[in-house]
Amino acid sequence: SFGDRGGRDLSVGALLALLVLAPYGVAVYWATIYPPLRDISTDLDDPPVLDTSDRTSDMNELSPPTPGEQSLQADTYPLVSGHSYNLPFETVVDAVETVLDRRDWQLTAPYPDINGQSEATINALAKGFVLGLPADVAIRVTDDGEQVIVDMRSASRYGRYDLGDNAARIT
Protein backbone atom coordinates (compact mmCIF):
# COMPACT_ATOMS: atom_id res chain seq x y z
CA SER A 1 0.00 0.00 0.00
CA PHE A 2 0.96 3.64 -0.38
CA GLY A 3 1.42 4.14 3.40
CA ASP A 4 3.92 1.30 3.63
CA ARG A 5 6.03 2.76 0.83
CA GLY A 6 5.90 6.24 2.40
CA GLY A 7 6.86 4.85 5.81
CA ARG A 8 9.78 2.97 4.29
CA ASP A 9 10.95 6.12 2.47
CA LEU A 10 10.65 8.09 5.69
CA SER A 11 12.71 5.50 7.58
CA VAL A 12 15.44 5.46 4.92
CA GLY A 13 15.51 9.27 4.89
CA ALA A 14 15.78 9.45 8.68
CA LEU A 15 18.60 6.88 8.68
CA LEU A 16 20.52 8.78 5.99
CA ALA A 17 20.05 12.03 7.92
CA LEU A 18 21.46 10.39 11.06
CA LEU A 19 24.47 9.12 9.13
CA VAL A 20 25.14 12.58 7.68
CA LEU A 21 24.72 14.34 11.04
CA ALA A 22 26.64 11.80 13.16
CA PRO A 23 30.09 13.43 12.66
CA TYR A 24 28.67 16.77 13.77
CA GLY A 25 27.18 15.14 16.84
CA VAL A 26 30.55 13.61 17.70
CA ALA A 27 32.26 17.00 17.25
CA VAL A 28 29.73 18.70 19.53
CA TYR A 29 30.23 15.96 22.13
CA TRP A 30 34.03 16.34 21.97
CA ALA A 31 33.70 20.12 22.25
CA THR A 32 31.81 19.65 25.51
CA ILE A 33 34.21 17.13 27.11
CA TYR A 34 37.58 18.60 26.04
CA PRO A 35 38.86 21.94 27.36
CA PRO A 36 39.22 24.97 25.07
CA LEU A 37 42.99 24.54 24.58
CA ARG A 38 45.09 24.36 21.43
CA ASP A 39 48.68 24.57 22.76
CA ILE A 40 49.80 21.90 25.25
CA SER A 41 53.21 21.59 26.92
CA THR A 42 54.81 19.38 29.53
CA ASP A 43 56.60 22.47 30.91
CA LEU A 44 54.07 25.22 31.52
CA ASP A 45 56.61 27.69 32.95
CA ASP A 46 59.16 27.39 30.14
CA PRO A 47 57.60 25.55 27.16
CA PRO A 48 59.90 24.25 24.42
CA VAL A 49 60.28 26.79 21.61
CA LEU A 50 58.40 25.95 18.42
CA ASP A 51 59.82 26.59 14.96
CA THR A 52 57.82 29.48 13.53
CA SER A 53 59.68 29.86 10.24
CA ASP A 54 56.84 28.57 8.05
CA ARG A 55 53.87 29.88 10.05
CA THR A 56 51.50 32.34 8.38
CA SER A 57 49.17 35.01 9.75
CA ASP A 58 46.06 32.84 9.27
CA MET A 59 47.39 30.23 11.70
CA ASN A 60 46.76 30.26 15.44
CA GLU A 61 48.92 32.74 17.28
CA LEU A 62 51.54 31.27 19.60
CA SER A 63 51.56 32.86 23.02
CA PRO A 64 52.54 31.82 26.54
CA PRO A 65 49.74 30.03 28.37
CA THR A 66 47.66 32.17 30.69
CA PRO A 67 47.35 31.12 34.35
CA GLY A 68 43.82 29.93 33.57
CA GLU A 69 45.03 27.79 30.66
CA GLN A 70 47.83 26.38 32.83
CA SER A 71 45.35 25.41 35.53
CA LEU A 72 42.91 23.97 33.00
CA GLN A 73 45.63 21.88 31.37
CA ALA A 74 46.98 20.62 34.70
CA ASP A 75 43.50 19.63 35.88
CA THR A 76 42.39 18.02 32.62
CA TYR A 77 45.61 16.33 31.52
CA PRO A 78 47.55 15.24 34.63
CA LEU A 79 49.57 12.75 32.57
CA VAL A 80 51.04 15.52 30.40
CA SER A 81 54.35 15.98 32.18
CA GLY A 82 58.05 15.94 31.38
CA HIS A 83 60.06 12.78 31.85
CA SER A 84 63.50 12.27 33.40
CA TYR A 85 65.92 9.56 32.37
CA ASN A 86 69.14 8.27 33.88
CA LEU A 87 70.67 7.69 30.46
CA PRO A 88 73.34 9.47 28.43
CA PHE A 89 72.14 12.63 26.67
CA GLU A 90 73.01 11.24 23.22
CA THR A 91 71.01 8.06 23.86
CA VAL A 92 67.90 10.03 24.78
CA VAL A 93 68.23 12.29 21.72
CA ASP A 94 68.59 9.20 19.51
CA ALA A 95 65.44 7.73 21.09
CA VAL A 96 63.53 10.96 20.39
CA GLU A 97 64.66 10.83 16.75
CA THR A 98 63.44 7.23 16.52
CA VAL A 99 60.02 8.20 17.91
CA LEU A 100 59.75 11.02 15.35
CA ASP A 101 60.60 8.65 12.52
CA ARG A 102 58.10 6.01 13.68
CA ARG A 103 55.30 8.56 13.94
CA ASP A 104 56.08 9.94 10.47
CA TRP A 105 56.38 13.49 11.72
CA GLN A 106 58.09 15.82 9.27
CA LEU A 107 61.10 17.70 10.58
CA THR A 108 60.83 21.47 10.16
CA ALA A 109 64.60 21.82 10.61
CA PRO A 110 67.47 19.32 10.45
CA TYR A 111 68.30 17.39 13.60
CA PRO A 112 70.48 19.62 15.78
CA ASP A 113 74.18 18.91 16.26
CA ILE A 114 74.44 17.65 19.83
CA ASN A 115 78.22 17.33 20.09
CA GLY A 116 79.28 19.16 23.24
CA GLN A 117 75.72 20.33 23.92
CA SER A 118 73.60 19.83 27.01
CA GLU A 119 70.30 20.86 25.39
CA ALA A 120 68.69 20.17 22.04
CA THR A 121 65.26 21.02 20.66
CA ILE A 122 63.84 19.05 17.76
CA ASN A 123 60.96 20.61 15.82
CA ALA A 124 58.52 18.74 13.62
CA LEU A 125 55.13 18.95 11.97
CA ALA A 126 52.54 16.34 12.98
CA LYS A 127 49.13 15.64 11.51
CA GLY A 128 46.01 15.45 13.66
CA PHE A 129 44.43 12.12 14.47
CA VAL A 130 40.93 12.94 13.27
CA LEU A 131 41.02 15.51 10.47
CA GLY A 132 44.73 15.46 9.68
CA LEU A 133 45.15 19.14 10.57
CA PRO A 134 48.79 20.15 11.11
CA ALA A 135 50.28 20.81 14.53
CA ASP A 136 53.72 22.12 15.42
CA VAL A 137 55.70 19.93 17.80
CA ALA A 138 58.86 20.72 19.76
CA ILE A 139 60.74 18.19 21.86
CA ARG A 140 63.42 19.58 24.15
CA VAL A 141 66.05 17.28 25.64
CA THR A 142 68.08 18.78 28.49
CA ASP A 143 71.00 17.28 30.44
CA ASP A 144 71.03 18.93 33.87
CA GLY A 145 74.13 17.04 35.00
CA GLU A 146 72.27 14.42 37.01
CA GLN A 147 69.57 13.27 34.62
CA VAL A 148 68.21 13.96 31.15
CA ILE A 149 64.85 15.72 31.02
CA VAL A 150 62.51 15.50 28.02
CA ASP A 151 59.79 18.11 27.57
CA MET A 152 57.36 18.32 24.68
CA ARG A 153 55.00 20.91 23.26
CA SER A 154 52.30 20.49 20.63
CA ALA A 155 50.29 23.39 19.22
CA SER A 156 47.52 23.22 16.64
CA ARG A 157 47.99 25.51 13.66
CA TYR A 158 44.27 25.87 13.00
CA GLY A 159 41.07 25.76 15.00
CA ARG A 160 39.95 27.33 18.25
CA TYR A 161 40.22 24.02 20.14
CA ASP A 162 42.27 20.90 19.56
CA LEU A 163 39.64 18.49 20.98
CA GLY A 164 42.32 16.67 22.98
CA ASP A 165 44.56 16.04 19.97
CA ASN A 166 47.70 17.74 21.33
CA ALA A 167 47.50 16.05 24.74
CA ALA A 168 47.01 12.67 23.05
CA ARG A 169 50.05 13.34 20.87
CA ILE A 170 52.20 14.04 23.93
CA THR A 171 51.01 11.13 26.06
Q: Which long-range contacts (CB under 8 A, 24 or more apart) does 87-94 make?
A: 87/148, 88/148, 89/114, 89/117, 89/118, 89/141, 89/143, 89/148, 90/114, 92/141, 92/148, 92/150, 93/120, 93/122, 93/141
The CATH superfamily assigned to 38-170 is Kinase associated domain 1, KA1 (3.30.310.80)
Give this prediction's pTM.
0.84
With CA atoms as reference, report the closest residue to 158 among 26, 10, 25, 58: 58
Q: What is the pLDDT of residues 60-114, one digit of tens each?
A: 999 889 999 999 999 999 999 999 999 999 999 999 999 999 999 999 988 999 9
Specify the pLDDT at position 10: 87
How far apart (Å, rounded) are the C-alpha atoms in residues 45 and 84? 17
Q: What is the pLDDT of residues 19-68, one digit of tens each?
A: 999 988 988 898 889 999 999 999 999 999 999 988 999 999 998 899 99
Domain chopping of the chain, boundaries: 1-33, 38-170
The answer, yes or no, to whether residue 3 has pLDDT greater than 80, is no
